[in-house]
Amino acid sequence: MSSIGELRQLARQRRRGGPKQRHPENLAGYVFLAPWLLGVVVFTVGPMIASLLLAFTDYNLLQPPTFSGLDNVVRMISDDRLWNSLRVTLVYVVVGVPLQLALALGVALLLDKGMRGLALYRSVFYLPSLLGGSVAIAILWRQVFGKEGIVNGLLALVGVEGPGWISHPDYALASLIVLHVWTFGSPMIIFLAGLRQIPQMYYEAAQVDGAGTVRRFVSITFPLLTPIIFFNLVLQITFAFQSFTQAYIVSGGTGGPSDSTMFFTLYLYQQAFTELRMGYASAMAWFLLLVIAAFTLANFWFSRFWVFYEEDSGATRGGGRRRKAGAA
Amino acid sequence: MTSVPAARPAPRALPRPRRTTSPVRSVLKHACLVALSLLMVYPLIWLAVSSLKHNEAIFTDLSIFTSDLTLENYVYGWTSQQLPFGRFLLNSTILSLGAIVGNLVSCSLAAYSFARLRFAGRNLYFAIMLGTIMLPFHVVLVPQFIIFRELGWLETFLPLVVPKFLAVDSSFVFLMVQFIRGLPREVFEAARIDGAGHGRIYARITLPLMVPALATTTIFTFIWTWGDFFGPLIYLRTRENFTVSVALKGFVDAQSSSNYGAMFAMSVVSLVPLFFAFLVGQRYLVKGIATTGIK
């Protein structure tokens, strides 16, 4: 079961109430959990509260923070570069993630047939997503999409003179999106695992009923895969919002040309560590959290219209058990 | 979603019904996949080949077929960032090892407790743990930086290693929880009856049984730590402490001198360990992703 599935189940248990539980292993439980608990308090919950407070201060690391009320918020509202960075990030997420997932799903569908060369294809498609976040690949991308890069080399073959993609404000972001799509391998692996979970007998029954390829996809594969598509969507959106390295390296840390690759995270980094506006950066971080949370909530809300959970439908009574087996 | 162990008969073992795919369609499909494969790996091959070309030839001849190869870029690149590149490789290695040990110890402890023990507040903590997988680290960034600054840990590896000993990488806790839950109950019950305490059950039974999950954690931790850029960028600002990824940034900053060959050569050097980890650990990587959706 995915992390999202676990959370759903916890929420459902809570609603149901259930019998009062006994805790015979309190001591051992807390001993084993101690490092994690300490970590959560010191490095997660504590800092979250602290950054929320810092968001209402002026703080440059050198003098102690001074309370500034809603100054940071007011400033954010009128900060054109901030809104631009949000727009750049949104374009990256809203275009990049669906393209990446569509490609991942498409390729996974092509691969899931016990076909020849499956392992090799899977490796080749997966490799880029392992390397994709590294500085070396971002450096490579600078050249691939540079004025004299491979892309323009290919275009020259068909007689088109391409621009310097990376150095042109209209195209720089597009080349970063291509980089994102290039890393479709890891969601593809998740889709492949999901496809394996679909009982073969469904397809056999459908075939007996005379269902064609398209019909089988629409009526069996897609509905049964929707929880996994949903899981991928939520996760990839969350990750994509936090992309940083690619934009930093491709633009040499500036977010240029003309702020066209200025991701929100990059602007936040600049505010915090070059301008030393720690209070402002904290306010930005909380804003980012809210934006991501809004996307996640919207996703959950929309999910009721298109995500199909087997255990919710009365049709498959054995569904719960199969699910257990899947979680093993 | 499926994860690893358990003596579940593989559904694959069943004889598959013969699919009647026409040879034309099969050829077409393979043609598509091969074309896509080439598209995917071409930039990587180009990078590797370009790193072996003379500097002038890199952009005048974009093809990957050439016989005029040289190692001069590697020789020059190795020393071009003031300190020998070996220093940066060493730093990245130390960091990675520290992070791996930290994650293995702390995440397995937490996972054992979540998966096997019943105690007050477990569900709440578990929900928090799952939530932190999705939490953008930026909301803790500034206070963490301040903490480490106050501790005098800037310019040391501690800010990047110590948190790992406190199980901050929730994905791995989750991965291990999933794995432990899948282990046969009888093993634990037998151990209890024999009078083994939780310390023993954890160390003598759980850990040996969860080697696959530990392997997955090791490989992912290595790949993430080795490739991490943001952490080293803010905590390690003097050259002696640079990791490979921050050192590579030096080539981008010095764009005016633009020795592309050297930059490519050192990029390749930085990718080789990742590629190696990929080859060795592919199996575990695939399982890890399928279980938790970590990158």
Please report the domains of chain A, with CATH numbers, ordered by start residue: 68-312 (1.10.3720.10)
- Is A36–B129 a contact, with Cβ atoms under 8 angstroms apart? yes
Q: Which residues does B254 contact at the CB level (< 8 Å), separation at least 6?
A: none
- Least confident among A37-41, B69-73, B113-117, B158-162: B69-73
Contact assessment for residue B104 and residue B141, using Cβ atoms and an 8 Å cutoff? no
Nearest residue of chain B to residue A246 (CA atoms): B229
Provide, as residue numbers in chain A, all residues whose Cβ is less than 8 Å from the Cβ of B113.
Answer: 28-33, 36
**Extents of the domains making up chain B:** 21-74, 78-292
- Is A44–B168 a contact, with Cβ atoms under 8 angstroms apart? yes
Q: Kindly give the confidence (pLDDT) of every residue in chain A, 328 residues in length, as a single tens digit, with 9 standing for 90 and above.
A: 678 888 888 888 887 766 666 677 889 999 999 999 999 999 999 999 999 999 999 999 999 999 999 999 999 999 999 999 999 999 999 999 999 999 999 999 998 667 888 889 999 999 999 999 999 999 999 989 988 888 998 888 888 888 889 989 999 999 999 999 999 999 999 999 899 888 889 988 998 988 888 898 999 999 999 999 999 999 999 999 999 999 999 998 899 899 999 999 999 999 999 999 999 999 999 999 999 999 999 999 999 999 988 765 544 443 333 333 333 3
pLDDT band at B260 (very low <50, low <70, confident <90, very high): confident
- Alpha-carbon gap: A90 to the closest alpha carbon of chain B (Å): 16
pLDDT band at B257 (very low <50, low <70, confident <90, very high): low
Q: What is the mean pLDDT of residues B281-293?
A: 80
pLDDT of residue B124: 95
Closest CA to A137 of A198, A80, A180, A170: A180
pLDDT of residue A312: 58
- Is B140–A196 a contact, with Cβ atoms under 8 angstroms apart? no
- Is A32–B202 a contact, with Cβ atoms under 8 angstroms apart? yes
- Is B271–A136 a contact, with Cβ atoms under 8 angstroms apart? yes
pLDDT: which is higher, B230 or B70 = B230
Q: Whole-angstrom Cα distance, residue B236 to residue B238?
A: 6
Other Cβ atoms closer than 10 A to A64: 9
Residue B171 pLDDT exceeds 70: yes
Contact assessment for residue B137 and residue A285, using Cβ atoms and an 8 Å cutoff? no
Predicted TM-score of the model (pTM): 0.90
Provide, as residue numbers in chain A, all residues whose Cβ is less than 8 Å from the Cβ of B142.
Answer: 47, 50-51, 54, 272, 278, 281-282, 285
pLDDT of residue B69: 86
Which CATH number does B78-292 carry? Answer: 1.10.3720.10
pLDDT band at B9 (very low <50, low <70, confident <90, very high): very low
Which residue type does A216 have?
R
Closest CA to B207 of B180, B182, B184, B181: B180
Q: Is B182 on the interface with A (CB under 8 A)?
A: yes
Asked if the bond preceding B11 is cis, omega within 30° of 0, the reply is no
Residue B7 pLDDT exceeds 60: no
- Alpha-carbon gap: A272 to the closest alpha carbon of chain B (Å): 8
